[in-house]
Amino acid sequence: MKHLKSLKNYCLIACAMMIASCSQQTAQQTDARWVATWGTAVQLTEPHNCPPEPGISGNTIRERFRASIGGETVRLKLSNEFGNDVLKIAAVSIAPALDGSKIDASKAVNVLFDGKANIDIDKGKSIISDALPFALTPRMDVAVTIAYTFVPSDITGHPGSRTTSYILTGNELNNTDFADAVTTDHWYTIERLDVVADEPAAAIAIVGNSITDGRGSTTNLQNRWTDVFAERLLANPATSNLAVLNMGIGGNCVIRGGLGPNATVRFNRDVINQPGVKYVILFEGVNDMGYSPNPSATEKELIEAYSKMIDSAHAYGLKIYGATVTPFRNCFYGSPEKEVCRIAVNNWIRTCGKFDAVIDFEKAVCSQADSTVMDETLHDNDHLHPNANGHKALGDFVDLGLFE
């Protein structure tokens, strides 16, 4: 009897210790300091950018991206923000990416959501996974593999991935061989990867259009100007703990029209609500100018929109840097009237005193003989988007002292 009583007491103590341990783990996850190390600005995927046959509903996709800063604990954000029905996922895994579709399977980790492998994401919603142990090194190429049960016809994604994704029929989550996969250069569902990081680790959110998104860079080489900038930050001891979040959307506008939610609409989602964000670079406006029927009115509207975003960033204690709009006079939507608008807006960016600093990207890529056109060696044969050399020029131009 005495033995049974002792055993009962032992069990009660053991259970109490287990509960305390679980509570401590939960508290650690809740209290952890999260910093976004990679992210993309999601949007409604246009029909021509939807997954190729066999599609992803009922099938498996492997998607790659390059993180910024590293750590030992991560969490993954998935999105169905623009879905017209519930997104049903059977399972998700994360692993270090190797060449092509290959992964380091020995380091693959199953991603759980409230302790479960499967998850339903309601339309208009996103979800963040449980914290999971994952040895993320700085600038690691990461592969996320998602086995879907059902995908709505309106798909949330990011068309301008400049990175190849791989699709296999059926649930192939644990298949290490995607050699026969159908390929597509778009992302779907994935939105952000966070890492637990101590201060002074932080994130830099960059709001932009196709230039920031990477138009003119090389698919799978990760040589967008934001990548060049991230590599420089990493190599500099005073800034090596700063992540770069590319929030560019091809065809995006600041005020209205364009592709994806305009910058004023998505500013909270893509900047303010990013974990660990400390700095903002605002580099957008060329599409508003280029498609404007009234450049004089657009000038005033852009300045008003910039001012509101500056005030919003400052209200949350963020530093925000204004980047001047790069030349586009000789491109398909350029004109003398729109060039007047660009010059006026850039002069305001340089002299308004509202930004914490100015990154004068015009000077990084304009012709030395004529600042109204892009240098012939730096654009992607369209007088608008930088080529790989142009992206390097932009990435090299940013003063790292602004972030030290």
User: Do 57 and 129 share a domain, yes or no?
Assistant: yes
User: Do 70 and 216 share a domain, yes or no?
Assistant: no
User: Do 215 and 268 share a domain, yes or no?
Assistant: yes
Taking only the tens place, the pLDDT of each residue in 350-387 is: 999 999 999 999 999 999 999 999 999 999 999 999 99
SS3 labels along 100-114? CCCECHHHCEEECEC
Of 192, 217, 245, the last residue of a domain is 192
User: Do 231 and 91 share a domain, yes or no?
Assistant: no
d(CA 376, CA 400): 27
CB of 394 closer than 8 Å to CB of 228? yes
Of 192, 222, 253, the last residue of a domain is 192
Q: What number of residues does the chain have?
A: 404
Position 4 pLDDT exceeds 50: no
Of 142, 161, 192, the last residue of a domain is 192
User: Do 261 and 285 share a domain, yes or no?
Assistant: yes
Domain interval for residue 134? 40-192
Task: Assess if residue 7 is contained within a domain.
Answer: no
Task: Assess if residue 27 is contained within a domain.
Answer: no
Strands, E assignment, 97-228? 109-111, 119-121, 125-128, 132-136, 141-150, 156-158, 165-168, 182-184, 187-188, 190-196, 202-208
User: Do 288 and 399 share a domain, yes or no?
Assistant: yes
Q: Domains in the chain: how many in total?
A: 2
Task: Assess if residue 5 is contained within a domain.
Answer: no
CB of 127 closer than 8 Å to CB of 83? no
- Segment 320-341 mean pLDDT: 98
d(CA 107, CA 95): 6
Interior/surface letters 288-307, b for 16+ CB within 10 angstroms, e for the rest: bbbebeebeebbebbbebbe
Position 64 pLDDT exceeds 60: yes
**Strands 190-196 and 34-39: what pairing?**
antiparallel
User: Do 248 and 348 share a domain, yes or no?
Assistant: yes
Q: Is the dihedral of CA 308, 336, 248, 317 positive or negative?
A: negative
Task: Assess if residue 318 is contained within a domain.
Answer: yes
pLDDT of residue 31: 75
Task: Assess if residue 269 is contained within a domain.
Answer: yes
pTM of the model: 0.92
User: Do 228 and 344 share a domain, yes or no?
Assistant: yes
Task: Assess if residue 102 is contained within a domain.
Answer: yes
d(CA 296, CA 289): 9
CATH number reported for the structural domain that contains residue 263 in this entry: 3.40.50.1110
Taking only the tens place, the pLDDT of each residue in 135-193 is: 999 999 999 999 999 999 999 999 999 999 999 999 999 999 899 999 999 999 999 99
**Strands 43-44 and 156-158: what pairing?**
antiparallel
Position 5 pLDDT exceeds 60: no
Q: Is 368 helix (H, G, I), strand (E, B) or coil?
A: coil
